[in-house]
């Protein structure tokens, strides 16, 4: 399934940015979150066409990405869950957001159309705790008059790998359900009470597509590119909203970037009638003292390009939200902490 998204991303990139390649090239590596993998693939394709520099990115999950950058086996790691400040200091890492995405619920129910089904956060939490067992549960039926909900077992699908997507999803459930917060809590990997696991956003999407009665949580690009049935969710204002670029942007605009630590501003359950309740940045981790300063510079050159208009255009085509301009300025300022052995910043604003 991921190959379909990657192919679509590459086609978008090739269409937007077919440019002559530069004479010299640098290959740099990254690994981690699957949440932003479609946009990273599109960015990499367009960037290679523009500069001849190659990003080799492995979408292996946020937990594995953090481990790889801690071990310095890649040039950057990627995580949907922000790393705490104390750990960044201990591991000598710089963290910054790269792009904003949204997590949506996807279902496999005959006769239920895209965005027809309404759910609340508490109902979703109870599904994943095994409290709600069938789709014709009275609580779901009451929210959805006129929708034909069968006496079919609910089949929750969750991430089996250490996942930043899971961290964001379970953080949301912890905000909307006191029982979830007490019994399960929020983490990249939790003790699920019901359902079956699958690896990666693509794995969850595939499991939902292949299982009648299934429900899962995925980054919106995986749902959109695979024409999956998404649901409405009730937001903090009590409104049921469908997932859309506008509802994601509303959540991003309501984030408190100025008072965030390491630019990890929450976008969960933001105020506003039209906000989508599960929106988050995805983050990049790069060493303060990289083993190869040239490759570190190449990685930051890439993100400087990705955070400019060419990258923004690609992100929006794939249903992601670019970072606000003021946040991009703060991100680039943080890059001054990435230094070569002589103590000089590896990135000074000049690109290859």
Assess whether 298 and 273 both reside in one domain: no
Q: What is the pLDDT, as a whole number, of residue 24?
A: 75
Lowest-confidence segment of 120-134, 210-224, 234-248, 252-266 by average pLDDT: 252-266
Same structural domain for residues 52 and 115?
no
Residues 13 and 124 in one domain: no
Report pLDDT for 239.
Answer: 97
97 membership: H or E segment, kind and range: strand 93-107
pLDDT for res 118: 98
Residue 168 CB partners (closer than 8 Å, separation 6+) = 35, 80, 81, 103, 268, 278, 280
305 & 202 share domain: no
* pLDDT-derived band at 6, boundaries 50, 70, 90: low
Residues 146 and 293 in one domain: no
What span, in angstroms and rounded, lies between the C-alpha atoms of 121 and 234?
7
Q: Is pLDDT at 289 greater than 60 in this prediction?
A: yes
Please indicate, yes or no, if residue 346 is contained in any of the structural domains.
no
Do residues 287 and 248 share a domain?
Answer: no
Nearest to 283 by CA among 88, 41, 19, 7: 88
Residue 255 vs residue 4, higher pLDDT: 255
Domain of 81: which CATH number?
3.40.190.10
123 assigned to some structural domain: yes
Q: Where are the alpha helices (DSSP H) in 17-36?
A: none
* Statement: residue 149 has pLDDT above 70: yes
pLDDT (average), residues 117-131? 98
pLDDT at 351 over 80: no
pLDDT in tens, 26-47: 999 999 999 999 999 999 999 9
Count of structural domains within the chain: 2
Q: Which residue's structure tokens are 């990258």?
A: 311
Region 236-251: mean pLDDT is 95
* CB 270, CB 103: distance < 8 Å: no
Instruction: Please indicate, yes or no, whether residues 107 and 88 belong to a single structural domain of this protein.
Output: no
Grouping H, G, I as helix, E, B as strand and the rest as coil, residue 96 is: strand
Q: Does residue 274 share a domain with residue 131?
A: yes
Q: At what angle do helices 2-16 and 200-209 cross, to 10 degrees?
A: 120
Whole-model pTM? 0.87
Q: Is residue 352 part of a domain?
A: no
Q: Is the pLDDT of residue 326 over 70?
A: yes
Q: Is 225 part of any domain?
A: yes
Asked if pLDDT for residue 68 goes beyond 70, the answer is: yes
Average the pLDDT over 192-206 and give the result. Answer: 95
On whether residue 259 sits in a domain, the answer given is no
Lowest mean pLDDT among 24-28, 150-154, 196-200, 293-297: 24-28
Q: Which domain holds residue 94?
A: 2-101+280-337
Say yes or no to pLDDT of 16 above 80: no
Distance in angstroms (rounded) separating the CA atoms of residues 326 and 9 = 27
* Together in a domain, 29 and 166: no
5, pLDDT greater than 70 = no
Give me the pLDDT at residue 20, please: 42
* Cβ-based neighbour number of residue 8 at 10 Å: 19
Per the domain annotation, does 333 fall within a domain? Answer: yes
Q: What pLDDT is stored for residue 1 in this prediction?
A: 47
Asked whether residue 155 is assigned to any structural domain, the reply reads yes
Q: Is the pLDDT of residue 21 over 50?
A: no
Residues β-bridged to residue 99: 282
pLDDT of residue 8: 53
Q: CA 25, CA 45: separation in Å to the nearest integer? A: 14
Of 300, 302, 310, 255, give the one whose Cα is nearest residue 277.
255
User: Can you tell me the distance from the alpha carbon of 39 to that of 27, in angstroms, rounded to the nearest whole number?
Assistant: 18
Query: What is the structure's pLDDT at 193?
Result: 96
pLDDT of residue 11: 52
- Mean pLDDT value across residues 3-8: 52
Res 23: pLDDT: 46
User: Which tokens sit at 294?
Assistant: 């040239």
What phi and psi values does residue 234 have, to the nearest 5 degrees?
-80, 130
Q: What is the pLDDT of residue 18?
A: 46
């Amino acid at each position: 399934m991921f190959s379909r998204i990657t192919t679509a991303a590459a086609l978008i990139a090739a269409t937007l940015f077919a440019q002559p390649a530069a004479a010299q090239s640098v290959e740099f590596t990254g690994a981690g979150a699957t949440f932003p993998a479609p946009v990273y693939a599109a960015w990499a394709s367009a960037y290679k066409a523009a500069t001849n520099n190659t990003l080799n990115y492995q979408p292996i999950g946020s937990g594995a990405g953090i481990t790889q950058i801690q071990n310095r086996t890649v040039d950057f790691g990627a995580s949907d869950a922000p790393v705490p400040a104390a750990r960044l200091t201990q591991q000598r890492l710089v963290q910054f957001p790269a792009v904003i995405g949204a997590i949506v619920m996807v279902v496999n129910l005959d006769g239920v159309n895209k965005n027809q089904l309404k759910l609340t956060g508490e109902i979703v939490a109870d599904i994943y705790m095994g409290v709600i067992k069938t789709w014709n549960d009275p609580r779901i039926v009451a929210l959805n008059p006129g929708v034909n909900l069968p006496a079919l077992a609910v089949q929750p699908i969750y991430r089996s790998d250490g996942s930043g997507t899971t961290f964001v999803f379970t953080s949301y459930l912890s905000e909307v359900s006191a029982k979830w917060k007490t019994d399960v809590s929020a983490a990249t990997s939790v003790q699920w009470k019901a359902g079956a696991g699958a690896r990666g956003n693509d794995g969850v999407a595939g499991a939902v597509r292949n299982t009648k009665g299934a429900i899962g949580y995925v980054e919106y690009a995986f749902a959109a590119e695979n024409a999956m049935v998404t649901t409405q969710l009730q937001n903090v204002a009590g409104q049921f909203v469908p997932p859309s670029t506008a509802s994601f942007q509303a959540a991003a605009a309501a984030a408190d970037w100025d008072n965030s630590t390491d630019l990890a501003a929450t976008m969960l359950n933001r105020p506003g009638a039209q906000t989508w309740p599960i929106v988050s940045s995805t983050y990049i981790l790069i060493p303060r003292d990289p083993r190869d300063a040239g490759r570190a510079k190449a990685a930051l050159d890439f993100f400087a390009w990705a955070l400019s208009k060419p990258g923004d255009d690609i992100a929006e085509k794939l249903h992601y939200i670019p970072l606000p301009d003021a946040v991009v300025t703060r991100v680039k300022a943080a890059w001054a902490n990435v230094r070569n052995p002589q103590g000089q910043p590896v990135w000074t604003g000049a690109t290859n």
